Amino acid sequence: MADLTLDTARKILDAAFAKAGELTLKPLVVTILDARGVLKLAAAQDGTSLMRAEIAHGKAYGALAMGMGSRALFQRAQEQAYFIDAVNTIAKGALVPVPGGVLIMDGTTLLGAVGVSGDTSDNDEACAVAGIQAAGLKANAG
């Protein structure tokens, strides 16, 4: 698989929402970007709060832009806040450096990223990872 297909993105989305249901989480938004950063699929569960779609997109976009899961971006922000702030300025505020942005890998090939927002960052990340794994792919959360 060289590209992230719509069918694969749907599998990721469905499995991420299934994991959220299993964990009884707050309503989530799941955003899936291909390796170019282009929106492949996004959906919001009923009852999500304002800005969740933007946050989910920012988690996925940040992971792609920096080539690492957003958990690693979060760690980097704690260690080098000035660097992440500078990168986010260049990106016009589009990065959200907290867990929940996970790279989608097929072996060593980057297919895209999933961003999830709505519950705690750790729970968001767990749903993204579950979705990616359910599609038979490797998750890189950072």
Q: What is the rounded average pLDDT for all residues in the chain?
A: 96
pLDDT above 70 for 52:
yes
Helix 121-134 with 6-23: angle, nearest 10 deg: 130
Please give the pLDDT value at position 29: 98
pLDDT at 110: 97
pLDDT grade, residue 108 (50/70/90)? very high
- E-strand stretches of the chain: 29-34, 39-44, 101-106, 109-117, 138-140
Rounded average pLDDT over 126-140: 98
Share of the chain above pLDDT 90, in %: 97
CA 84 to chain centre: 17
